[in-house]
Amino acid sequence: MEEAAAEPARGDAFRDNPSPSELSSEDAAAGGGAPSVPPEAPPATNAPPDEPPSAPKPPRPLYCGVRMPYFFREDSFELFREMDVREDDIFLSSGVKMGSETTWVTKILNGLKDYDDDGNLKASVDDSLPNRKFQTYPEALPPTREVERRDIAQGKSIVKHFGDFTLDELMDQPSPRLISTHLFGEQFLPKKLFDQPDEEGDSGLVSNGSHNIVKGKGRLIVAVRNLKDTLVSLHHFRGVPEDGWYGNEHGPGSFRRWIDLEDCHNSYGSAFHWVKASADAVDAIGPERALVVYYEALQSNFAAQLRRINDFLGMPRLSAAKERAITHACSAKTMRKTSSSIIRKGVVRDWTNYLDDERWDEVDKTFNTVLNGVKLAEPLRFYQLKEVPGMPPPF
């Protein structure tokens, strides 16, 4: 499977120095014009040509210490945080440009929900609902139609990149609800997904020995990819940024912007901090309600990972026909035809074609500083090694 970037066109949604403004899927896939390689940052000699550069944009808005994309709505985010979580809710939290992003895994989860044992779509499937044709981020939606009309009357722009939906329409999905987002960790995901101290004297609580807690509900799936390939994918998303890899008069460059732990201007902040906060969230929820899906594992054995996700969700054992139907629907060839996704290379270890040893050594040092000993992050190390010593460790 090659990596898919979620549509509709959002151009610069995730980078501080973005790509050509609002390219269509076809334009972006075609390169949008003659390729150019920034002279100050030549890739390795075997690297593919870069796409045309783009103009810089203003810094991202800062929220709770993290840079957020331009489509981020604080009102909807706060409602998302306080939402009532159901036992069978499925939350997909994926890192920006971490291979599958949310597109591939969203497609997998929809397949598990929507196909019957004969491999046919259930009659109840409604493609007009959120998260069907592409993911629908809660933090991007107006809370209600009433708020949307008010915002339009006040001259505010309404983002439609994730479909013509509101947050309450996302919440009105039939069970099991699927909610996809780049939001992450206990600070940004719904509070009731996690165990909470009892503040209202509710009944039916459990005790942890010191005080009563309200048990969390729902399931969390975290999708991750090795961070070196993540950087390369982000750099090329809808064309390379105008300040290139190493920076110039237009900005600090993709590398320095991405590796900055103190003030990463990319949307959703530092990838290293994203992984660490996600790992903490997985640990807090526990293995019965939290699952980590690695892009590299999906690439190497899709069938095994599909069954693993199915079992985690407590669904009936996959029939051969249903497995074949989902595998076909989630292939790169099918997704190119049926979804508005930009399919790039999506290979593992593409990072070896870019930058130099000095920069990759800096990534390794930063990885060790933030993620050394973090269980979720350890399997990523193998795919970040310059020379691979045999077979990868089990996920």
Does residue 279 sit in helix, strand or coil? helix
Select from 116, 23, 52 the least CA-distant residue to 319: 116
Q: What percent of the chain has pLDDT over 70?
A: 77
The pLDDT confidence band at residue 102, using thresholds 50, 70 and 90, is low
CA 199/CA 262 separation, integer angstroms = 34
User: Per-residue pLDDT for 383 more than 90?
Assistant: yes
Phi-psi region of 33 (alpha: psi -120 to 50; beta: other; left: phi over 0): left
The pLDDT confidence band at residue 65, using thresholds 50, 70 and 90, is very high
Residue-level pLDDT at 206: 58
User: Per-residue pLDDT for 207 more than 50?
Assistant: yes
Write out pLDDT tens, residues 275-286: 999 999 999 999
Does residue 273 sit in helix, strand or coil? helix
The pLDDT confidence band at residue 123, using thresholds 50, 70 and 90, is very high
Residue-level pLDDT at 284: 98
CA 250/CA 18 separation, integer angstroms = 11
CA 217/CA 196 separation, integer angstroms = 11
The pLDDT confidence band at residue 55, using thresholds 50, 70 and 90, is very low
User: Per-residue pLDDT for 244 more than 60?
Assistant: yes
Contacts (Cβ under 8 Å, ≥6 apart) of 309: 108, 109, 112, 221, 291, 293
